[in-house]
Amino acid sequence: MATLLSNASQFAPAAVRLGTTCCAFSTTSKLLEVRLLSRMRIVDNSAIGRAAAEIGKPPRVIHVYNKKQVGHLGDKVLVTVKGEMRRAYIVGLKQKQRPNVPRTDTNNIVLVDDNGNPLGNRVLVPIPSALRANKKGDLTKVLSLATKFV
């Protein structure tokens, strides 16, 4: 048994044999869905969104308000922005969408307050028109701020 372990150690990387850890790369695949701690991008012109973009710390999802805990287009999420908890609606996703619903390069959100009123007064990116027929949440106030639909 001892010879088997000594032979196995010669094939191990040098960092493992010396007792140090090597974390230069990740072997897990990248998830293109919104889950816990996913990075988002605020696409309205709210003051807290602009401040977060200036310091370079993207908001992170800490809760998705649905049963499966995976966010989809139009879902409500709870995010942390500069150490504050804020509610938001998802208005653009990287993950694979239904037919005729466009994908975006980033995961986009629009911040809202506790009553569902948007914090900004303009949405800066095009919004998928599939959100107009969305029955999940009250997105009418958010959609009224959008100037472009795709």
- Residue range 31-145 forms a domain whose CATH class is mainly beta
Query: What pLDDT does residue 130 have?
Result: 83
Q: Give me the residue spans of the domains in the chain.
A: 31-145
Per-residue pLDDT of the chain (150 residues; tens, 9 = 90+): 555 555 555 555 555 555 555 555 555 455 667 888 889 999 999 999 889 888 888 899 999 998 888 888 888 999 999 889 999 999 988 877 777 777 777 889 999 999 889 998 998 888 888 888 776 668 888 888 888 887
Among residues 29, 31, 27, 26, which one has the least CA distance to residue 94?
31
Instruction: Give the list of residues 6+ apart from residue 104 with CB closer than 8 angstroms, or none.
Output: 92, 93, 94, 125
Query: What pLDDT does residue 28 have?
Result: 46
Round to whole Å and give the CA distance between 126 and 148.
5
